[in-house]
Amino acid sequence: MDMAGKTVLITGSTDGVGRYVASRLAAEGANVLIHGRDPTRAKTLIDEIVKAGHAAPTFYPADLSSMAGTRALVEAVKRDHQRLDVFVSNAGIGSQNDGPQRQVSADGHELRFAVNYLSGFLLAHLLLPLLKAATPARIVNVASLGQHPIDFDDVMITRGYSGSRAYAQSKLSQILFTIDLAEELKGTGITVNSLHPATYMNTTMVRAGGIVPMSTVEQGGAAILHLVEGDDVAGKSGLFFNGMNEARANPQAYDADARKRLRALSLELTGL
């Protein structure tokens, strides 16, 4: 897909793999909307892109650990744009960010579930009018091979908490949502896919977990860009990719009842 003139929103794009994807798409002539919490990082990225001779991306600050912050991001984007060709849900926190202890969001939800999954769920639904106005359009959910089945009796992991379990549950939730939303949007011209970009990329999140990086942001970024603009995936939806290749997720992702339960819970928690 020719990205020149296409409008792309990438959450979590002032650092890590999101930053790389934003730079690449700006170089291809896309109208890039970047998101993060740190204006200084955003300015550095904008300056780099402009210095390279490309149009400056627009920065939208927002705290996605808050439902109000997530909704405010959508309203800001809607004020400025009539259409959105691609939404990349990339923002997230790792298993050890700010320590291994259980943390909660501003709305009282387990923090990794709130940031990594619920915010993307809410954003995708609220951005649908802009995506429908741009069809064919794409949604790309940046998930992980690290997946843990959802315990619907304790989704917020109040018992036996571990950061790695919370992270893996939030990432599997993204994949269940991807399949569910793809079915809902069948025939609309909007595709929805998820992926594990690369294993332990050299990012702030990985280093914060005390993990030695195994791959580069360029490798992960290439996999994300494949789903953003690849012609070979233009008509594909509801799939999970490991890097460049279609793969199978945790079996719970293919359980229609689990997806229905997650959807009902997510609609309730987000107030949709």
User: Tens digit of pLDDT for each residue in 172-184?
Assistant: 999 999 999 999 9
Average pLDDT over residues 205-223: 75
**SS3 assignment, position 74:** helix
- The domain limits of the chain are 7-270
167 annotated active-site: yes
Buried b (16+ CB within 10 A) or exposed e, 77-94: beeebeebbbbbbbbbbb
Would you call 123 exposed, middle or buried from its count of C-beta atoms within 10 A (0-12, 13-18, 19+)? Answer: buried
**Which helix (H) or strand (E) element contains residue 180?**
helix 163-184
Average pLDDT over residues 185-191: 98
Please tell me the least confidently modeled range out of 68-77, 126-135, 148-157, 206-215.
206-215
The yes-or-no verdict on residue 267 having pLDDT over 80 is yes
The yes-or-no verdict on residue 163 having pLDDT over 80 is yes
Neighbours of 155 (CB within 10 A): 18
Annotated active-site residue in 117, 167, 200, 254: 167
Q: Quote the pLDDT of residue 99.
A: 74
Q: How confident is the model at residue 198 (pLDDT cuts 50, 70, 90)?
A: confident
Q: How confident is the model at residue 143 (pLDDT cuts 50, 70, 90)?
A: very high
Q: Quote the pLDDT of residue 100.
A: 77
Is CATH 3.30.70.360 the classification given to domain 7-270? Answer: no
pLDDT in tens, 41-71: 999 999 999 999 999 999 999 999 999 999 9
Q: Quote the pLDDT of residue 201.
A: 62
Q: How confident is the model at residue 211 (pLDDT cuts 50, 70, 90)?
A: low
Contact 59, 77 (CB under 8 A): no
**SS3 assignment, position 61:** strand
Q: Quote the pLDDT of residue 47.
A: 98
Q: Quote the pLDDT of residue 229.
A: 98
Give CA–CA dist 11/52, Å, rounded.
Answer: 22
Give the residue, 112 or 206, on which the prediction is more confident: 112
The yes-or-no verdict on residue 232 having pLDDT over 70 is yes
